[in-house]
Chains A and B, each alone.
Chain A
């Protein structure tokens, strides 16, 4: 293959036939370019829409109490269901496949928080330590609520990075300082952030639920329970929900068919819906992508066909002066491989460059489009596919042309 003379011969042919080289190259480069833009756009759209979902753990389930709607054992509908710490403990005891669990008590009244001379409204969340992983609220400074905080009912708080930004002067760390929640001072022990598009998720203040129940006279009231479960199939997930419901029904005296007595929000379902929707979009993009590649293949094949036809006479001359059929075929093949792979590379580079430029210019908080990264291996495979099909498309007519008798190739029409 490393036959310098042969390559020189091929380069000189390419150089002297610029238009045809350009046309072949263009159809390949265009195909690859479009494929990358398509795949990138699809990925960007997917990432953008994905970021609209909250950043909670994908396998989380949220349970909150409602009001009965079916009479049960002589109790009229309309009864309020109330959760307590016992429900939290029961769920832990009854379910072995829990990964995380946290209950929450909602503090009634205003949610104003003050820090030194600053104050503002933030979402106050009273939680167990596991909430860190259910909400994906990871500390960037200090720590999260821990089990000792719960046990000792410590007055500690973990605040969101946007809370810090709103309350603290630049360069001043609130850790170790006190914030006041409804007049009660809480020591800041950590600052968390979330990889989320929604600012609300970063404007929370977490405090231990046990402390909150004590300080804000909540008794043992729980307003919602959040869990994260291990990976489940659809059926398993449904069974799990049924089981939860049945447990609550028997402990709180309501009909387990009652849809309003408790509410179960299963994040798994949301994610699944989103995934299904994107399966559709992805498929659509693939169909267009494959179409683009096929168009590229047809383009290259057509050009190769014309090239060979155009060169029939030249092939006749070459044969008359002693070219073997294989030397004719192989030089046409190598020429086509050279052009298509070079053009494919150009298309690749341009497509990726365009995607980079787009990625740099979309606002960071865009809700529609984000990180349009392209799977480079797909793009490379597509290039190889085009190169190979271009070669096959060139090979067949070249082979035929190389086989015909020189007289016939030489005959001027």
Chain B
């Protein structure tokens, strides 16, 4: 599903060049549940952003579903993000002036699904997250865990092949974190590839495979017992 080879990525700020990913190789199969770990500043978010076509890379190649993700037009990139990928961010990134259903339904708006239909589907997804009663609430009326579940519903509504989550539990307490992880495992069991960046050991331990990033390359890999 995901194939990276010799991937390089540098940030240029002023005269300084910061080489973050230094020839990274990585393959993730369809249906895997993977966590990415590494020290702060090691490039986890950078990697995830490249995987999500939210950012570009300098060298090497990235194939998503056997298609090379390079020099994509903005329109093509938007299509891949819309059809293939779902995002979950640490800071939720819900649109503040839209209520829960509208937020969840938004990806379908860009697919041209009409309002009535997409709100119905969105409500169904919210129901699965146990948030049906909160459908009309604005993001600022929801708790962190509720917001993250809304964000997960939004990531799932377009039935993506891959869900990318950057520290999805970073802003949540441990109990809520576990609930969110249960959700990801459930999503994964339906065949969707899930990649989670995390700092927390007990989070990564719930995934099938742990990838460590060190010095811009994959340091070591573990396949967890379960």
Please say whether chains A and B are actual partners in one complex.
Answer: yes
Complex contact A5–B109 (CB within 8 A): yes
* Cβ–Cβ < 8 Å partners of A316 in chain B: 93
Chain B positions 87-143 with a Cβ under 8 Å from a chain A Cβ: 87, 89, 91, 93-95, 97-98, 102, 106-107, 109-112, 114-115
Interface string of A321-333 (1 = CB under 8 A from B): 1111111000000
Residues of A with C-beta under 8 A to B56: 405
Complex formed: what's the CA distance from A13 to B95 in Å? Answer: 11
The reply to whether B109 and A405 contact each other, CB–CB distance below 8 Å, is no
Do A12 and B98 form a contact, CB below 8 Å, given A5-B115, A405-B56, A410-B93? yes
Q: Tell me, in angstroms, the Cα distance from A105 to B20 when the chains sit together.
A: 107
Q: Mark B70-99, 1 if CB is under 8 A from A, else 0.
A: 000011001101110001010101110110
B209 at the interface (CB under 8 A from A): no
- Kindly report which residue of chain B lies nearest to residue A318, judged by CB atoms: B106
Name the CB-closest residue of B to A410.
Answer: B93
Tell me which residues from 1 to 25 in chain A have a Cβ below 8 Å from any Cβ of chain B: 5, 8-9, 12-13, 16-17
A318-348 near B? 1/0 per residue, CB < 8 Å: 1111111111000000000000000000000
Across the interface, do B79 and A322 meet the contact criterion of CB distance under 8 Å? yes
Chain B neighbourhood of A396, CB < 8 A: none
- Contact, CB under 8 Å: A8 / B49: no
Whether a CB of chain A sits under 8 angstroms from the CB of B198 is no
Beta-carbon contact of B95 and A314 below 8 Å: yes
Q: A5-B109, A407-B54 are in contact. Are A319 and B78 (CB under 8 A)?
A: yes
Residue of B nearest to A406 (CB): B54
Number of A-B residue pairs, CB cutoff 8 Å, is: 71
By the criterion CB–CB under 8 Å, are B109 and A412 in contact?
A: no
Shortest CB distance A314–B (Å): 6
Question: Which residue of B75, B95, B107 has the most chain A CB atoms within 10 A of its CB atom?
Answer: B95
**Chain A residues within 8 Å of B91, by CB:** 412
Q: Are A320 and B55 in contact (CB under 8 A)?
A: no
Contact B52 A323 (CB under 8 A): no
Cα distance A17–B95 in the bound complex, in angstroms: 12
B44 at the interface (CB under 8 A from A): no
* Contact between chains at B75 and A321 (CB < 8 Å): no
The distance in angstroms between the C-alpha atoms of A109 and B94, with both chains bound, is: 96
> Do A320 and B97 have beta carbons less than 8 Å apart?
no
Residue pair A323, B55 in contact (C-beta under 8 Å) = no
Question: Using a Cβ–Cβ cut-off of 8 Å, how many residues does chain A contribute to the interface with B?
Answer: 27
Question: A314-B95, A405-B54 known; A325 and B74 CB under 8 Å?
Answer: yes
The reply on B154 being an interface residue by CB < 8 A is yes
Verify if B158 is at the interface (C-beta below 8 Å from A): yes
Whether A403 contacts B111 by the Cβ 8 Å rule is no
The answer, yes or no, to whether A317 is at the interface (CB within 8 Å) is yes
A404 to B111, CA, bound (A): 22
- Is the pair B55, A324 in contact by a Cβ cutoff of 8 Å? no
Contact present for A324 and B75 (CB under 8 Å): yes
Smallest CB gap from A320: residue in B: B87
Q: Mark A375-410, 1 if CB is under 8 A from B, else 0.
A: 000000000000000000000000000010111001
What CA separation (Å) do A72 and B55 show in the bound complex?
102
Shortest CB-to-CB span from A295 to chain B, Å, is 29
Nearest Cβ on chain B to A399's Cβ, whole angstroms: 11
Whether B55 lies near A407 (C-beta < 8 A) is yes
A322 touches B55 (CB 8 A): no
Tell me whether A322 and B54 are in contact in the complex, defined as CB-CB below 8 angstroms, given that A12-B102, A13-B97, A407-B49 are known contacts: no
Known: A5-B109, A9-B109, A16-B98. A320 touches B74 (CB 8 A): no
Contacts of B78 in A (CB 8 A): 319, 322-325
Task: Please determine whether B154 and A321 come into contact, CB atoms closer than 8 angstroms.
Answer: yes
Contact among B55, B93, B111, B114 with A317 in the assembled complex (CB-CB below 8 Å): B93
Chain A residues closer than 8 Å to B109, beta-carbon distance = 5, 9
Complex A-B: 10 CB contacts under 8 Å:
A9-B109, A320-B54, A321-B87, A322-B82, A323-B78, A324-B79, A325-B78, A327-B110, A405-B54, A407-B55
7 further A-B contacts with Cβ under 8 Å, apart from A322-B110, A323-B110, A406-B55, are A314-B95, A316-B93, A317-B93, A322-B78, A322-B81, A322-B83, A323-B78
Which residues of B does A touch, CB under 8 Å?
49, 52, 54-56, 74-75, 78-79, 81-83, 87, 89, 91, 93-95, 97-98, 102, 106-107, 109-112, 114-115, 154, 158
Sorted nearest first, the 10 A-B pairs with minimum C-beta distance are A322-B82, A16-B97, A406-B54, A324-B78, A407-B55, A322-B110, A321-B107, A407-B54, A325-B74, A322-B81
